[in-house]
Amino acid sequence: MADTNRKRDKSQNFHGGSFSIFNNLYFNASGGALQFNPDATDGAPKFGNPLFQNEPGGNYTLQSGTAATQIGFNPIDQASIGLHPTGPQWY
């Protein structure tokens, strides 16, 4: 039987109880200040708009001039990856 009374601090999954991340792009669409987890640090943060084609419509293709180039992001053609229907009941 699982012990449901014991809570686990997720930071214990990392050496020393904290973790570091590097070279990520941050953007706050609401214009407010970005809030970071106090146990995390980003060694090389970049800030800017990723310029998605149509975020509300689910199109996360990046437009030219995207800030994602600051972190070396290279877009990939998503048409040839993932699951593709092969018939009416492909799942």
pLDDT (tens digit, 9 = 90+) per residue, 17-59? 666 778 888 888 776 666 666 666 777 888 899 999 998 887 8
Q: Does 90 fall in a domain?
A: no
Total structural domains within the chain: 1
Q: Does 81 fall in a domain?
A: no
List CB contacts of 38: < 8 A, sequence separation 6 or more: none
CB atoms within 10 A of CB 68: 20
pTM for the full model? 0.57
List beta partners, residue 20.
Answer: 41
Give the pLDDT confidence score for residue 39 in this predicted structure.
67
Give the pLDDT confidence score for residue 51 in this predicted structure.
93
* Domain hosting residue 39, numbered range: 12-71
Give 54-91 pLDDT, tens digit per residue: 988 878 889 999 999 989 888 888 777 777 667 776 55
Q: Does 88 fall in a domain?
A: no
Q: H-type helices in 3-89, by residue range?
A: none
Confidence band, pLDDT 50/70/90 cuts, at residue 6: very low
Q: Note whether 45 and 26 are within 8 A (CB).
A: yes
